[in-house]
Amino acid sequence: MHKSDNFEMFSDEELPKVNTKSENKVEETIVFQNQETAQEIWENVKKHIEEASVPAPVIKTMFAPIIALGWDGSTLYLQAPTKLHIQWVQENYLTETQTAFSSILGEDANVIYKYLKGETELSLEERAVRVPHNGKKTTSSQRNQVAKESISGFSSNKGKEEIPYNLKPNHTFESFVSGESNQLAHSAALSVAENLGKSRFNPLMIYGQSGLGKTHLIQAVGNFALAKYPKVRVLYASCDRFTTDYVNSIVNQTVQAFNSFYRSIDLLIIDDIQFISHRPGTQDMFFHIFNELHQNGKQLILTSDKPPKDLSNIEDRLISRFQWGLVTDIQPPQLEMRMAILEKKCESQGIKLPKEIIEYIARNVTSSVRELEGVLIGIVANYTLGQKKVSLELVKDVIESIATKVVVHSIDTNEIKKAVSDFYNISIEVLEGKSRKQEIALARQIAMYLSKEHTQKSLKAIGAAFGGRDHTTVLHAVQMIENYKQNDAQVKNALMKLNQILRQ
């Protein structure tokens, strides 16, 4: 057995073999046991990986093609399409896979990846991941039951300093792209991180639809706090994980240990708190933990898919407490911000894409940051694994083939003119006309600006659509609205509302 940095290399002599006959020749064939059990284990592992906020396109492109070969009670054998496929998963999602394997198999199990040399021949080289090990041996029966146990870090026999923060190291403020759609949430999160234990924003509650960067932002607070205060006790957990921990503590008669553990945290980050609905027992436990932490000056950060007042089947006393600090939202990113996100992702991964490709993706994938990342990953996968040249046609294919959540959104100038005319209660004829009244001129400039943002028309074509105006008039309108965005709250608010209308 030869150790590498993040995994161990197993030679084929260490794998179980049996002699079989084929055309008067004796061949060595690897025997894989309990394939149904292996498949069940692998499906559970993939569920945990999905819960770790791995984008759906990555699951579909990179994890779905991996199949389970067998399970011998201590080692899970998996097969990937290519060696490059294995390397990509290891390099990009090692932490997520190790955490998932640890949760399902226990801390003393092995995972071996194999890949096909040809169409049917398995390679003699395997890549094996050693699940993080604490020095204690785990029995086979314990591994088979370990799926029932928590991964948040709660355990009745853990020492006070053993907190697995559950934070992704790449979720930092430096890697988070801030813009108009998330500016307040970003500023508040940074303020909490810099003033841990003294912040007025306690709790800090951030809401918004899935895939807009809420998890990244709240984990950035945790990573910042750990860097600034190494001894601080930070814990990130999904609401479902908190609930699972609590239920397991009841089953195992360790409620007191559960309670003590969560009350000992200095910075408690709970993601998707809306899932505490319809769970009165869990709500009661969280209520008392919340009170204890808040009264002792500990920081709480929560996320949900909607503001507290719109959450249903959650006790009023909890809803009230969710609003004690600051409640702020994250909106879908604007075009410039989507381009900045893609450029930042490309830079962090050492990828170079032409500006026209980045702009095309940003213009056509509009609903979430996660979907932008998914498209980028799909392009990279096609390039590295499929050896396809990056082109506009490839990008179009990736956008169309990835999950149905990714919508190729097309808006024309007629839609924009109608939305603006309805918003300002003026007719389209007046909007296109020659009136220079301030309110009409502003509405016209906003409509031209939105046409530049949401369509691929040239300035000349946009001018033609607005009463045959010159392209310099359109350029002036765009520049004026850019200036208003920075200095005029009314215009900024109008643009946000109009963008929401156009996305519907």
- CATH code for position 15: 3.30.300.180
Question: Does 33 share its domain with 121?
Answer: yes
* Partners of 191 in beta bridges: none
Q: 401 pLDDT band (50/70/90 cuts)? A: low
Q: 219 pLDDT band (50/70/90 cuts)? A: very high
d(C-alpha 59, C-alpha 42), whole Å: 13
Q: What string of DSSP letters covers 261-322?
A: HHHT-SEEEEE-GGGGTT-HHHHHHHHHHHHHHHHTT-EEEEEESS-GGG--SS-HHHHHHH
Residue 21 and residue 50 in contact, taking contact as beta carbons nearer than 8 Å: no
| Mean pLDDT of all residues in 159-165 | 50
pLDDT of residue 126: 39
Identify the top-confidence range among 93-107, 175-189, 192-206, 356-370. Answer: 192-206
Does 18 score more than 60 pLDDT? no
Question: Does 318 share its domain with 358?
Answer: no
In the numeric block, which tokens belong to residue 178?
A: 């801030």
Question: Does 33 share its domain with 68?
Answer: yes
| Mean pLDDT of all residues in 376-395 | 72
Q: How far is CA 48 from CA 193, 219, 241, 251, 466, in A?
A: 28, 18, 11, 22, 52
Nearest to 75 by CA among 148, 28, 147, 129: 129
* Per-residue buried b or exposed e for 358-372, using 16+ beta carbons within 10 Å of the residue's own CB: bbbbbbbbbbbbbbb
Per DSSP, the three-state class of 495 is helix
Question: Does 201 share its domain with 305?
Answer: yes
pLDDT digits (tens, 9 = 90+) for 250-268: 878 888 889 999 999 999 9
- CA torsion, points 118, 121, 126, 132, in degrees to nearest 10? 100
In a domain, 439, yes or no: yes
d(C-alpha 428, C-alpha 419), whole Å: 10
Question: Does 421 share its domain with 481?
Answer: yes
pLDDT of residue 147: 30
* CA dihedral over 161, 110, 374, 343, signed as positive or negative: positive
pLDDT of residue 23: 32
Amino acid of residue 400? E
Task: Identify the residue with better confidence: 154 or 75.
Answer: 75
Question: Does 322 share its domain with 458?
Answer: no
pLDDT digits (tens, 9 = 90+) for 113-137: 776 554 444 443 333 433 443 333 3
Does 88 score more than 90 pLDDT? no
pLDDT of residue 299: 95
**How, if at all, do strands 75-80 and 67-71 pair?**
antiparallel
pLDDT digits (tens, 9 = 90+) for 306-329: 899 889 899 999 999 999 999 988
Residue 240 and residue 51 in contact, taking contact as beta carbons nearer than 8 Å: yes
Q: Number of structural domains, the chain?
A: 4
| Mean pLDDT of all residues in 435-459 | 87
Within 52-139, residue ranges assigned H as helices are 56-58, 83-105
| Mean pLDDT of all residues in 337-355 | 81
Q: Which of 101, 118, 134 is the last residue of a domain?
A: 134
Residue 141 and residue 29 in contact, taking contact as beta carbons nearer than 8 Å: no
Task: Identify the residue with better confidence: 61 or 247.
Answer: 247
In the numeric block, which tokens belong to residue 439?
A: 């309110």
Q: Which of 372, 401, 430 is the last residue of a domain?
A: 401
Question: Does 264 share its domain with 382?
Answer: no
In a domain, 162, yes or no: no
Angle separating helix axes 471-487 and 489-503, nearest 10 degrees: 110
* Range with the poorest average pLDDT among 65-74, 307-316, 387-396: 387-396
pLDDT digits (tens, 9 = 90+) for 131-159: 443 333 334 344 333 333 333 434 333 34
Phi-psi region of 26 (alpha: psi -120 to 50; beta: other; left: phi over 0): beta
pLDDT of residue 135: 37
In the numeric block, which tokens belong to residue 271?
A: 């993601």
d(C-alpha 4, C-alpha 127), whole Å: 10
Does 110 score more than 90 pLDDT? no
pLDDT of residue 398: 76
| Mean pLDDT of all residues in 23-42 | 59
d(C-alpha 349, C-alpha 337), whole Å: 18
- CATH code for position 388: 1.10.8.60
Question: Does 103 share its domain with 45?
Answer: yes
Question: Does 341 share its domain with 452?
Answer: no
d(C-alpha 310, C-alpha 314), whole Å: 10
Please state, rounded to an integer, the average pLDDT across all residues of the chain: 77
Domain span at residue 430?
413-503
pLDDT of residue 445: 93
Nearest to 476 by CA among 497, 462, 492: 462
In the numeric block, which tokens belong to residue 411?
A: 């808006």
Residue 343 and residue 358 in contact, taking contact as beta carbons nearer than 8 Å: yes
Question: Does 350 share its domain with 432?
Answer: no
Does 106 score more than 60 pLDDT? yes
In a domain, 210, yes or no: yes
d(C-alpha 7, C-alpha 87), whole Å: 11
| Mean pLDDT of all residues in 102-122 | 67
- CATH code for position 471: 1.10.1750.10
Question: Does 189 share its domain with 323?
Answer: yes
| Mean pLDDT of all residues in 465-480 | 88
